[in-house]
Structure 1
């Protein structure tokens, strides 16, 4: 009957495991459906309705308030006399579509705002064809990029924003072309203003330039403003239990290279600062959007929440630009919308690459990523690159690890003598401690020496953890067989189970703690770590499994050497 009971237990375990896997797949499908529904562009009817509302001088989103949204020029008054009345007629605002190899963009001719940005090379789902949508304006979600001119001759003051005209509403980066230019034109009484968007091949950078043709006998003056407008929606992320990636604003200042503010921080207080050059960004896991003004002028930056509304604004206003009478001039900025590619961000603006949040050990994590990227260029597989990087790190720490394992092997060898001392002097702690010290001295064993080499490696382990968690390159990147996405958990939990088994086996090589309670705690550690790593990204678990396997091999060899020394 014992075999029958064991068979039933095994059957229940297998069924429970399969049910657990199915439940996780259901949760993933459910989460993707939620994310997809919130990131899908609204229907043409909905967009047309929004555009008509925008054309009346009110904001495009029902919750917005144009008077609060549009920043004032530095010297601009807030008097009610400066706020024009709402337009009584509705100009024909419309949506302009732009398609490049990297981006699918929608631009609203009311204000010239970017109201949709889909990343064509990054899919929403692993095996799906739908692009990941970063910017979007819909009934349930607001995330847009705004820009315009404020000040004396600006096109955006109070409730009035420019309604641009455009020759066509569909643009495409054609084969053989390196760029596509979209010109939106607004006619003032004193000047013609062209808002030019330039999209380049294989790029997520959009050049936004205002070309001013001053036709009057007086100087034309205005300030460029650019900002990101977003609600508090936070996309789902699969980083592990209890781990929530940062979602919020980031800027660079004269005091610090990288300052980040969560949306909850902006609920409490707004931020204002001045800086020559600089940038402002909206950051989330793997992706970001950022405005980068001209780096040779001083800009006024702001991060704030609209009063009593679920809308956050993060942007800048540049210094005044003057175009002489009957002259021409321009004001420009760059807008980045795409993945956190470290090399692109480094070249775009100083310190913008710090939005890839490697934690407080970023100065270690960055070189580790460059090494991982180099291994990927050789192997062509990010999983293999992780294995190669782990082997190199293990080689670097081979000698400190050897010292640690040698110390533990010696402790294991003298453990019978330690247990004998415990039996003889267990009731007299002071006497037992003295005898233990004599034993350590006689056998030339230092229990602390087993810990120090491991502590030396901890900064590298922590840096690797954050580097793997933050690398967008691992998103939807396959390894082998069942692991088709290194950025999410192993759907069959094979790697975590292998890691737990390896951890259990390594414990057999270590000396057992003399304290029974401590021994029980150590016996539970493989099960605790396995449970934790069940939901960690497969890339991180892969690193841990390889590191554990190499450690076991090294420790086993050293332990056998120490045990054979006395024979």
Structure 2
């Protein structure tokens, strides 16, 4: 056999191939014109026509759509295919207060970054970075606060799902439409369809502020009534670099919590507290509650019966609020929520829903439901003292324009208020000091009888009319002020991110990264202790002079710089106060009350 194309064998093969192709084309043409079934005209399909599948590259496996009611058909006799899902889109909404990004997959938030100097994560600085700032070297700034970090594998913030026999997943794809209202408010609408459900989600922003109106309309497109549960989701992924748990020596912490107000109680869940919590009752609001920021949704028309599922892990906070859903054939159910994504400023939270939102949404002032979001600012049992301190500091801040100076002026005011008590304390300590020789005699005389020693000591104090604990009273009274100021600093957005002086102390609610303030506080505390009259034995005096200040300083290393500033200023004022009072008492002969010295002398005479 040859491979020559001009050979007789090769020509025969080519002829046979040409004949075979011709016969194939002839057979195909004959089948097409004489034997193939004719296509039916539109609308001529019968019960056995089957299901028409959606065409197109993205059609995938088409789902069966149930026809709307009123067309005389049934789900079994008039089945049609759903349209292919809309394309995946990202939608950006830029406002003065925040920048938002929505995804059409779930119609939820993927980004909600607050704008402004104070709208940042709390900056974490090392000692080296603190001293770099002290000497003017640049250090990285903290990122803007993003209230919508999606949690991988979980529904997006503000997405919805429907649970029940005919579920709607939170990842449903939506079509997008943007616009504005006649009053100039920005709007964004999403429409999604799956199974018997047609869901329209619309967002409306007033012309200013951190609020929004979130409306969810659910339509039953089937010929049968549908029921289930509408779930509204809000979640936030957590970066442990910017959030940490509080501890005694590790600082105040700034962990965010899943939160839901059910009936008359605010339920909060932090990581490590307990497994996911499901609470039922009248839902007033729900969302993610952080130290200085809040993401919350609330029913615009008042509390709704439902439940909240709270979840908190080290890397995520999640809350899902569920509400009953019952929709008849062709009917719709509408849920209207107000939203607040912004700082926990009590002045703003007390006005929610604000005037701008009520005006944009057409709400009357009388009918507007107030969800009490300000209760997320939790001062605990120190609320009364905290609010008093904040009111005083706000007053001073209005005068001087600096929160650090306002804290110093608060310290001066507290010192002036306690001056009479401090004076009496100083007199008491001086009187006890005069009794030291007699106390030493009692210790030697009853060295082997501790009980008799204490009894004789108390008798001596009674005869001299001296209170040995008088010197501790000013500090005991200051303790509630310190705790209340600490609580105010870790909860007040007014002071959050506010500087005192220089490039280092740029946030009074965060620790001093150079530790200069707490170390100065420790030194001033040692000086204060050494200036006080010694009313105890040498071992106890050493403990109070050296050990206690060291422990106190070590504790405050990680605490807010504003608290260190207050205590340091208080110690400096105490040193000056003790020096001045001691000089004044010396000029008065050590007997400003007119009876203290006489009482002490009388006590000494009786002992002799």
**Corresponding position: 1:147 with 2:159:** yes
Pair 321,181 (structure 1): closer, same or farther in 2 beyond 3 Å: farther
Farther-moved stretch of structure 1 (431-440 vs 520-529): 431-440
**Corresponding position: 1:534 with 2:539:** no
Aligned residue runs from structure 1 range 423-502, under 5 A: 423-452=444-473, 454-482=475-503, 483-502=505-524
SS in 2 for 1:432: helix
Superposed displacement of residue 430, structure 1: 4.2
Q: Which has the larger radius of gyration?
A: 2
CA contact (8 A) 2:257 2:312 kept: no
CA contact (8 A) 2:162 2:168 kept: no
CA contact (8 A) 1:413 1:563 kept: no
Q: Identify, as 1 or 2, the structure richer in helix.
A: 1
Give the TM-score normalised by the residue count of structure 2: 0.67
What residue number does 1:298 align with? 305
Q: Tell me the distance in 2 between the aligned counterparts of 1:446 and 1:136.
A: 60
SS in 1 for 2:555: helix
**Aligned counterpart in structure 1 of residue 259 of structure 2, from 250, 270, 275:** 250
SS in 1 for 2:176: coil
What residue number does 1:114 align with? 109
**Corresponding position: 1:131 with 2:149:** no
**Corresponding position: 1:200 with 2:206:** yes
Superposed displacement of residue 467, structure 1: 0.9
Pair 389,304 (structure 1): closer, same or farther in 2 beyond 3 Å: same
Unaligned 5+ residue runs, structure 2? 1-58, 62-81, 124-138, 353-369, 591-608
Pair 134,277 (structure 1): closer, same or farther in 2 beyond 3 Å: closer
Deviation by residue 1:452-487 (Cα, 9 ceiling, x = unmatched): 554344333211111112223333321122422223
**Corresponding position: 1:372 with 2:376:** no
CA contact (8 A) 2:298 2:339 kept: yes
Aligned residue runs from structure 1 range 32-51, under 5 A: none
Unaligned 5+ residue runs, structure 1? 1-54, 58-86
What residue number does 2:284 align with? 278
For these two proteins, the number of residue pairs brought into alignment is: 471
Pair 469,559 (structure 1): closer, same or farther in 2 beyond 3 Å: farther
What residue number does 1:164 align with? 174
What residue number does 1:331 align with? 335
Pair 562,442 (structure 1): closer, same or farther in 2 beyond 3 Å: farther
CA contact (8 A) 1:249 1:263 kept: no
Deviation by residue 1:13-43 (Cα, 9 ceiling, x = unmatched): xxxxxxxxxxxxxxxxxxxxxxxxxxxxxxx
Pair 311,554 (structure 1): closer, same or farther in 2 beyond 3 Å: closer
Deviation by residue 1:210-240 (Cα, 9 ceiling, x = unmatched): 2467888887877542222345653435878
CA contact (8 A) 1:297 1:319 kept: no
SS in 2 for 1:146: coil
Deviation by residue 1:372-402 (Cα, 9 ceiling, x = unmatched): 3343233322112222333333344444444
Pair 404,226 (structure 1): closer, same or farther in 2 beyond 3 Å: farther
Q: Tell me the distance in 1 between the aligned counterparts of 2:225 and 2:412.
A: 66
Q: Tell me the distance in 2 between the aligned counterparts of 1:346 and 1:478.
A: 26
**Corresponding position: 1:543 with 2:566:** yes
CA contact (8 A) 2:236 2:318 kept: yes
Farther-moved stretch of structure 1 (231-240 vs 491-500): 231-240
What residue number does 1:236 align with? 242
Q: Tell me the distance in 2 between the aligned counterparts of 1:160 and 1:128.
A: 35
